A and B are shown apart, each in its own frame.
Chain A
Amino acid sequence: MASSNPKKSSIQTYQTKGSSSARPRDDGKLVSGARALLLALKDQGCDVVFGIPGGVMLPAYDVLYDEGGLSHILVGHEQGAAHMADGYARATGKVGVCFSTSGPGATNLVTGICNAMMDSVPMVAITGQVRTTSLGKDAFQEADITGITLPITKHNYLVTDPTAIPRIIAEAFYIASSGRPGPVLVDIPMDIGLAQIESEKIEDVRIRSYNPDGIFNIDNIEMAARMIDEAERPVLYIGGGAISSGAYDQVTELARKTNIPVTNTLMGKGAFDETAELSLGMLGMHGTAYANMAVDQCDLLINIGARFDDRVTGKLDSWATGAKTIHIDIDPAEHGKVYIPDVSLIGDCKQVLNALIPLVKDRPRTAWNEQVDAWKTEFPLWYPTGQNEVLYPQHVCDELFKATDGEAIVATGVGQHQMWAAQFYRCKHPRSFVTSGGLGTMGFGLPAAIGAAVGVTDRPVWLVDGDGSFIMTNEELMPAVQHKIPVKIAIINNFCLGMVRQWQQMFYDQRLSAVDLSYQPDFVKLADAYGAVGIKVQKPSEVRAAIDEANSVTDRPVVIDFQVAPEENCLPMIPAGQTIQQMLVEKPR
C-alpha cells in the first residue's frame, strides 16, 4: 500500500523547484504525516487552529490530543472556523489557520476562503481528504476541494507524498503571507496523514515560480513626486494594501508633510488615524459626503493600496473627472485593471512610500484644505438627537466609539449596521476594523470577532452586527463561551434585513420583499441559553450603561440587543453605478 513506505510510493510525487532548505529533526524518529503537519504548523509560529474534526481528519486530531503547544478551538460550523482564522489574521497580521474534514467540512469552508481571498487575508486552510487510493471514486465524503477552491485561493495543494508535508506547510505560510496576501488550502488524504516519515524542519523556503518581490517598478517615482508637488487639490486614497504592508507611519508622514487630505476605503480604515484633522473618513457609496466631494473635485488622486472598487467609484467615467492618478500597489495585476493610472508605482506600499516621501516637498495648508474643511462643516455625519424615545442605530455606533475612545477592535456583519459602524467608529489604529469588504459576507462578524479576540487579548473586541447577519452564525457563541472569550456583541436590531429593505424602498418602489425578520428569536434569551450575558436596550439613555457593563465583563461574551428605529436608512448614499450628483445626503436638522 502506498502509505506504508513513502520511499516506494507509487503515487506521483512532485517537488517544487527552488532551494528550500530542510534539516532533519534531532531525534531522527519516524513520525506520522499528521504529526509532521502539526510540527510544521508550530514551526511556522502557529499556536491556535479553529476547526471541526471528522473521519479523514482523525489522524491530525489524534496528534492534537498529545502534541502540546497548539490549541484548538472547536467551532459550531466550519464557516465559523474559516472566518475565525480570517479575523485572527486581520487583527494580528499573522496567518490564521483552520481545519476541516473532507467533503461537507471542506465545502463549509468555501465562503470563508473566498471571503479571505477577496480581502487579501493570509490564511491556511487544512482539509482532510479521502485516501489517495479512493480519490476520484466518489468515496464517502469525497469532494474535490482543490478543484472547488481553485479560483478562490491564492494557491492550493493536494498532498500526495507524505514526505512533502513539512515543505508544503512552509510554502503555504510563505505564499499566504508574502506579496499580496491570500488564503492557501492544503488538502491531505487520510493515508498521507497516517504514513510514517522522517520529520524535518524547513528552514528557508524558496519557490522558483513564485517571487513576491520580483516586480518592483518605481521608475516613475520622480514624476509622481513632481505631480504631488504641483497638485493644487490632491487627495490621498488609502486602501487595505497600506494595512497589509504595514505602511501606517509612511502614510501618516506623507500626509503630515504635505497636508494632503486623506480618505480611506472600508478596508483601509485605521491605516491613517480617522480622528486626525486631515482625515476625511471613508469614501464611496456610504462614505462621507466630504470625502466624495473632495475626490470629485481633486486634481490628483494618490491611490495607496486600494483597487478602485465599484463600491468606491460608482459610475467610473464620472468619477474624479478632473484628476490625474498615481497608483501604488504591490500587485501588478491591479495596475490598469479598472483605471489606467497616469503613474504606476508597483511595489509594497511601505517600500514605495519610503522612496517617495523624501522626493516630495513640504507643503503648507492651502485653500484646498479650507475648502475640504468647509465641506466637513457643511455636510457632517449626523443623526437626530434629543428625541428621547427613538434609538437611532448611528447613536449606538457613535456611543461605542466614545465609550471605547476609538481603541477597540471592531468587527461587523454586512448591511446598514456595517456602514454605520464604518462611518461612526473612527479607527485610530490599523488592524482595528474587521469587516468583510470584497465579498460582503453576512455572518462574518461573530466568528471574525472571536478570531480577533483570540489573537489580541489586550484590547476590547466589539462586534457591531445586524440581526440578520447574527442569525447566520450565532452558533459560534458556543466556542466563545467555552473559551471565555469576552467578545462584546452589539446587535443593531431593526427586525429586518435593513440594507435590502433600504434598496427596495429606494429603487424598487417600496415593494418590500422577503426582508421581515420579526420572527427572530429573543436575543437576550438566546445569549442566556448559550451561557453568555444578554442585555436588551430600547432607549437612547440606556446605551452607554449597557456598553460600559459589557466592557466590564471579562470572562464570557456579552450580547446587547439594541432595538433601534426600524425605518432608519443609511446615508449618505451614492446609488450603485451613479455619481456624486445623485448623492443622497441631508444636512443636520
Chain B
Amino acid sequence: MPTIASKGGQQLGQQHTITILVENRPGVLARVAGLFARRGYNVDSLAVSITEDPTMSRMTVVCTGDAYILDQITKQLSKLVDVVKVADYTDMPMMERELALIKVNAETPRRGEIMQLVEIFRASIIDISETTFTVEVTGDVEKISAFEQLLRPYGIRELVRTGRIALVRGARTAAQS
C-alpha cells in the first residue's frame, strides 16, 4: 500500500537548523517566510545577513516540528527562484552561536555580583547607566539561556537575541553541502 504522507500541521518534533543561501535582493525574505507561514510552521529564530559574496545573503532558520513538513518546506524553498541553496544542518556536525544584549538592573550594591557572572560567562558590559548594565554575551543557545536565568533575579529590563547562526565544521561550506 502506498504510504500516505503526513497530514500536516505543526507537531512536536526535532528542532532543525536550516541554512538558506539567497540572492541579496528585496523581497526574498517575504518569499521565504511565506513558505513557512503557509504550512502553519512557526519559526523559532531567524538570522539574515550578507555573506562573503555581497550578492548573496544567508538565512539561518531554526524551527521545531514534523520532519515531513520540514522536508516539504525545504523542497519548496529550493524551488524559489531567488534561493541558491538550502541545507538542513540538523544532523551535521556544526557550530551554532547566538548573541544576546541584556539590559539588567544593576544597583550599586549588586554590581559586583553581576560583574562576576559576566566574567564567568565571558560576556562583556558594553554600557553602564546609574541603574543598569547592558551586557553582551555570545555562545550556544544553552549558554545564553543559562546566563539569562542567572541575571533574571536582578531584573532584566530588556533582552534581545540575534537568533542562531551556524556553520558546519571543517572545510566544507553551505554552497558545497
The answer to whether A321 touches B1 (Cβ under 8 A) is yes
What is the interface of chain B mostly: helix, strand, loop, or mixed?
mixed
**A14 at the B interface (CB under 8 A):** yes
Known contacts A151-B38, A175-B81, A323 near B30 by CB under 8 Å: no
A251 at interface (Cβ–Cβ under 8 A)?
A: no
Check A209 against B82 for contact (C-beta < 8 Å): yes
**B10 an interface residue at 8 Å Cβ cutoff?**
no
Partner of A209, one of B2, B22, B68, B76: B22
Residue among B3, B4, B76, B79 with most chain A CB within 10 A? B79
> What mask results when residues 313 to 357 of chain A are scored 1 for a CB within 8 Å of chain B, else 0?
000110111111100000111001111111000000000000000
- Bits for B34-63, please: 1 = Cβ < 8 Å to A, else 0: 100010000000000000000110000000
* Most-contacted residue by chain B among A301, A325, A333, A342 (CB, 10 A): A333
Residue interface bits A381-416, CB-to-B below 8 A is 1, else 0: 000000000000000000000000000000000000
Contact assessment for B34 and A341 in the assembled complex, using a CB-CB cutoff below 8 Å: no
Query: Does B27 sit at the interface, judged by CB under 8 A?
Result: yes
| Given contacts A331-B79, A333-B76, A333-B79, A12 and B2 within 8 Å (CB-CB) | no
Interface residues on A, range: 35 or more
Known: A14-B26, A333-B75. A322 touches B81 (CB 8 A): no
Question: In this complex, what residue of A is CB-closest to B68?
Answer: A336
Residues of A close to B78: CB separation below 8 A: 332-333
The residue in chain A whose Cβ has the minimal distance to the Cβ of B85 is A209
When distances are taken between beta carbons in the complex, the residues of chain A under 8 Å from B81 are 154-155, 175, 207, 209-210
- Chain B residues, Cβ within 8 Å of A340: 2-5
Q: Does B31 contact A (CB under 8 A)?
A: yes
Give every chain A residue within 8 A of B76 (Cβ-Cβ).
Answer: 333
By a CB distance below 8 angstroms, the chain B residues around A155 are 80-82
Output the nearest chain B residue to A154 by Cβ-Cβ distance.
B81
A336 B5 Cβ-Cβ under 8 A = yes
Chain B min CB distance to A242 (Å)? 20
A150, A154, A316, A332: the one within 8 Å of B4 (CB):
A316
Complex Cα distance, B33 from A151, in Å, reads 11
Give the contacting residue for B2; candidates A158, A207, A341; CB below 8 A: A341
Whether B66 sits at the interface, judged by CB under 8 Å, is no
What's the minimum C-beta distance from A500 to chain B, rounded to whole angstroms? 28
Q: Does B72 contact A (CB under 8 A)?
A: yes
Q: Does any Cβ of B come within 8 Å of A147's Cβ?
A: yes
For residue A473, CB closer than 8 A to chain B, the reply is no
The answer to whether residues A324 and B71 also contact, given A14-B25, A210-B81 and a CB cut-off of 8 A, is no
Distance (Å) between the CB of A178 and the closest chain B CB? 11
Decide: A336 near B71, CB < 8 A? Known: A12-B26, A17-B23. Answer: yes
A14-B25, A17-B23 given; A317·B4 CB < 8 A = yes
Interface residues of A (CB under 8 A from B): 12, 14-17, 146-147, 150-151, 154-155, 158, 175, 207-210, 301, 316-317, 319-325, 331-333, 336-342
The 4 tightest CB contacts between A and B, nearest first, are A333-B75, A340-B3, A155-B81, A209-B84
Task: Taking A158-B27, A338-B5 as given, write out 9 further A-B residue pairs in contact, using a Cβ cutoff of 8 Å, ordered by the A residue number.
Answer: A14-B24, A17-B23, A150-B27, A151-B34, A155-B82, A209-B82, A323-B1, A324-B2, A336-B68
26 contacts between A and B (CB under 8 A): A14-B26, A15-B55, A17-B55, A150-B34, A155-B80, A155-B81, A175-B81, A208-B84, A209-B82, A319-B2, A320-B1, A320-B2, A322-B1, A324-B2, A332-B75, A332-B79, A333-B76, A333-B78, A333-B79, A336-B68, A337-B72, A338-B5, A339-B5, A340-B4, A340-B5, A341-B2
